[in-house]
Amino acid sequence: MIDSKHFIELEEQYGAHNYHPLPVVLSQGRGVKVIDVEGREYYDFLSAYSAVNQGHCHPKIVNALIEQAQKLTLTSRAFFNDKLGVYEKFVTQYFGYDKVLPMNSGAEAVETALKLCRKWAYEVKGIPEGEAKIVVCEGNFHGRTTTIVSFSVDPDARNSYGPFTPGFIVVPYSDFSALEKVFAENQHIAGFLVEPVQGEAGARVPDEGYLKKCYDLCKKNNALFIADEVQTGIGRTGRLLACDYENVRPDVLILGKALSGGTYPVSAVLADNDKMQVFRPGQHGSTFGGNPIAAAVGIAALEVIRDEHLTENAFRLGEIFRAKMTEICKKHKICEYVRGKGLLNALIVNNLKEKDIAWDICLRLAENGLLAKPTHTNIIRFAPPLIITEAQLLECVEIIDKTLSSF
């Protein structure tokens, strides 16, 4: 019989070991649930790191993908196609920007934003060539390219990948005065790159008002405020963008993941004409970026968010989830607290006794029918698809409660 063990062994033997997955082998996904090769059902509380906001295999998104795949899949940008412009109009109007630059992965979109920021700094702001600095935050996660890991503070993400790309200044997250100091002490700041909630750091929410103050400071210093909403965007935190909580409109907006509902790699950078005009033919691009399938899927994925009111659902159920989890935390000695926004939340557990306690909890959660993944040794992220119902969420809270009581 071909079982989980077989597929795990295949990956062990033939795949690079750059991930440490939970030992479940999934073969189907429907809505908020996934099913493994043995037929066991689980609630998905990771949603592929917030890519599957619309739920697994959403029929509207899958149909858009299939229909487009049968007509035209890829033209490259050497020619026009009849889908890209339609998507570009739709996505820019949806988020309220003049222009979009389509890419595939989140990391590529972040790279695009960094290049845009530097080019704007030299060609528009007038910073001397090679002198531009971009400020980033401690605890950041923006992807895995060499430039991006150059300003990571996570040793696993960074070590042994040097020499690193210079030109970045790291400040503590949610510390406005640290950013003020950097602006006061450095002449050539081109921009500030920030996650409005730090996802990989375990749903770290900055102090209220932080983003607005940082935005205002950027304006005062003619620097770009760049929001990486790859994980937080598209409804996840209970607003369309997490920046909306503080009425901040980023100069440069980075999106990915849920832009396709998890069916296809689709990412994007949005900005107004005065910034986006720095890119001219041949200066940036990607063979697959803006391909017809991505365009069709992107429209469908964003329509689902809007038409099914998933942002509103994330807000309402997020409040309920944190209230319930806060009660649960009081009952179990192992729990410290829960934090997050909308349906991007994390449980912080007490790490005093065991080294990999979060991992062990996740293994037991899986046995009890809920899949979550640790981020760091004592943090478990809880991020179900935004289509989850209140009844389903309450059932999941019970699973978490029951699991924690066994520790």
- The set of catalytic residues is 141, 228, 257
Nearer to ligand PLP, 268 or 300 (CB): 268
- Residue 55 or 199: the one with the smaller Cβ distance to ligand PLP is 199
Query: Shortest approach of ligand PLP to residue 305 CB, angstroms?
Result: 18
Nearer to ligand PLP, 136 or 304 (CB): 136
**Least CB distance to ligand PLP at residue 34 (A):** 19
SS3 131: coil
Q: In terms of CB distance, is 143 or 403 closer to ligand PLP?
A: 143
Whole-angstrom distance, CA of residue 266 vs CA of residue 255: 9
Give the Cα separation of 55 and 342 in Å (integer): 16
> Residue number with the shortest CB distance to ligand PLP?
106
Which CA distances in Å does 274 have to 92, 99, 190, 252, 321? Answer: 15, 10, 15, 11, 42
Percent of the chain as helix, strand, coil, to the nearest 5: 40, 20, 40
Is-contact 203 141, C-beta < 8 A?
no
Closest contact distance (angstroms) between CB of 21 and ligand PLP is 15
| Site for ligand PLP, rule CB under 6 A | 49, 105-107, 110, 141-143, 195, 199-200, 228, 230-231, 256
Token code pair at residue 323: 């209230």
Cβ proximity to ligand PLP: between 228 and 251 the closer is 228
CA distances from 81 to 85, 91, 270, 295, 388 (A): 8, 16, 20, 10, 36
CB 232 to ligand PLP: min, Å: 7
Parallel, antiparallel, or unpaired: how do β-strands 133-137 and 168-171 relate? parallel
